[in-house]
Amino acid sequence: MFNDHSMLRYLTAGESHGEAIIGVLEGAPAQLPLTSDDINEHLARRWLGYGRGGRSKIENDKVHIYSGVRFGETLGSPISFRIDNGAYEKDKAGWPEKMAIEGDPPEDMETVTMPRPGHADLAGKQKYEHDDMRPVIDRSSARETAMRVACCSVARRLLNEFGIEVGSHVVRIGDVGFDAPEEWADRRNALIEKGSDGASALYETADQSATRMIDDEMTERCVEHIDQTKKDRDSLGGVYEVVVTGVPPGLGSYVHWDRRLDGQLVQAICSIQAQKAAEVGDGFRNAHRPGSQVHDPIEPREDGAQAYPRRTNHAGGTEGGTTTGMPLVVRGYMKPIPTLIKPLDSVDTATGEPEPTRYERSDITSVPAASTVAEATVAYTVANAFLRKYGGDSVPAIRRHIEADGHGSE
Ligand SMILES: Cc1cc2nc3c(=O)[nH]c(=O)nc-3n(C[C@H](O)[C@H](O)[C@H](O)COP(=O)(O)O)c2cc1C
């Protein structure tokens, strides 16, 4: 995932039931403290959430770093990673044979010819001309997000080094949740303004909830809703919010379309499987309101402060595609999980005949997990904008650039 303005770039490779997923991150500055634990913490958080399926019991994601780090610090060279797929051997489904890199398929191997609505199955089969949809299922799977979280955790570690924190919480799962930002904004703001942890305090609190919500009563209602949905053999989507604190003004730009940070943030969310909409600030709600209730009044700044405070933050921390110094707020909208226990109508592409879908192990909802992946992709996006403004080959060089910028001056 990179564009013409990326300072950091990463690639992922790997199939969901292959041996492992691989990633390479290029562009991380030297002398950034980095350990496997910095990454493993967020890999574990990706498994959070009530309503997860059987795979959560098989996987124990731990990253193996192969290069780019020495004695706990980055070297400035590409950082390469591997995360093993527990399902490859633990599943007892014969994946080593079915996903073999060389040789012929096992004689008794069933090919997948029935596309599941809502998955990449049919589109991928038609695009790559596979008779067997297994390769489509395996690469379009959100298993890939484990490696994204790994690569993007380095970006998050870099932001943390400069006091920029990223967090998230879930605001809705299916029918149960908050409707309007003002219903949760005070509680969220109290968390991110408390102490020096900024938005990290938000994720730490949300992680305590079975549904990653910052409201106990809502968590309970959501758990019941998920239980009922499972009984109904159905699935759920939802809404979550990612917040970034400590962001200096001036990241991103209005001067060219692809340098607008608001546009990049929406892409960061919608690049994740099953995320079908995103809004910056109160984007959707603002469209229904008069301007006097939307645009955030500017207040005088204190001596030495970098940003002018705003009385409200309906804009979500950007104006003109550029950060204002207020927290960045981005919300993601996830569709319901497409694999249902209840069959959906489909067609067997081998025979051309109508056929109901067959159930494969799956989550009832993955909104809490998606919110942690969204933290990662947002961190990566903000880190790129940060490096574009203050970037250097090493962490000390970046510090010098920030100091030279003379915070607070016009
Ligand atoms: C963290 C996460 C976990 C997911 N888990 C499942 C799952 O267990 N079962 C499923 O059918 N889809 C799951 N999905 C959604 C599918 O990966 C996605 O809908 C599918 O790849 C098609 O892509 P699209 O929805 O973007 O068109 C998950 C998505 C995310 C982000």
- Structure confidence by residue, pLDDT tens digits, 70-79: 999 999 999 9
Q: Which residue from 80, 43, 22 is spatially nearest to 376, judged by alpha carbons? A: 43
Distances (CA, A) of 74 to 115, 144, 154: 44, 24, 10
Cβ(272) – ligand 1 distance below 6 Å: yes
Instruction: Flag whether pLDDT at 30 surpasses 60.
Output: yes
Per-residue model confidence (pLDDT) at position 409: 44
Q: Rounded to whole angstroms, how far apart are CA atoms 178 and 69?
A: 43
CATH class label, 9-405: alpha beta
Supply the residue whose CA is at minimum distance from atom 22 of ligand 1.
119
> What pLDDT does residue 35 have?
98
Buried b (16+ CB within 10 A) or exposed e, 72-94: eebbbebbbbbbbbebbeebeee
pLDDT for the residue 51: 82
Mean pLDDT, the chain, rounded, equals 95
- Could you identify the atom of ligand 1 that is nearest to the CA of residue 361? 8
Q: pLDDT value at position 408?
A: 43
Q: Whose Cα sits closest to atom 24 in ligand 1?
A: 274
Q: How confident is the model at residue 135, as a pLDDT?
A: 97
Which residue's CA is minimally distant from atom 13 of ligand 1?
A: 337
Ligand 1 contacts CB of residue 339 (under 6 A) = yes
DSSP lists the bridge partners of residue 346 as 355
Nearest CA to ligand 1 atom 30: 142
337: pLDDT confidence band, cut at 50, 70 and 90? very high
pLDDT of residue 141: 97
CA–CA gap between residue 275 and residue 288 (Å, rounded): 23
CB of 141 within 6 A of ligand 1: the answer is yes
- Give the confidence band of 5 by pLDDT, cuts at 50, 70, 90: low
Kindly give the distance from the C-alpha atom of residue 277 to the centroid of ligand 1, in angstroms, as a whole number.
Answer: 15
pLDDT of residue 201: 94
174 lines ligand 1 (CB under 6 A): no
**Ligand 1 touching residue 363 (CB < 6 A):** yes
Cα separation, 310 vs 318, whole angstroms? 12
pLDDT band of residue 59 (cuts 50, 70, 90) is confident
Q: Which of 273, 276, 333, 346 to mutate to test the pocket of ligand 1 (most atoms within 8 A of CB)?
A: 273
Q: Is 362 in the pocket of ligand 1 (CB under 6 A)?
A: yes
Tokens matching residue 200: 């990290």
- At 103-123, the pLDDT tens digits run 999 999 999 999 999 999 999
For residues 263-288, average pLDDT: 98
Ligand 1 in reach of 140 Cβ (< 6 A) = yes
**Domain boundaries in the chain?**
9-405
Residue 410 has pLDDT above 50, yes or no: no
Pocket test for ligand 1, best of 337, 341, 346, 371 (most atoms within 8 A of CB): 337
Contact 202, 243 (CB under 8 A): yes
What are the phi and psi torsion angles at 10 (to 5°)?
-145, 155
Instruction: Specify the ligand 1 atom closest to the Cα of 369.
Output: 1
Lowest mean pLDDT across 84-93, 171-180, 310-319: 84-93
Q: Note whether 73 and 161 are within 8 A (CB).
A: no
- Residue 104 near residue 39, CB atoms below 8 Å: no
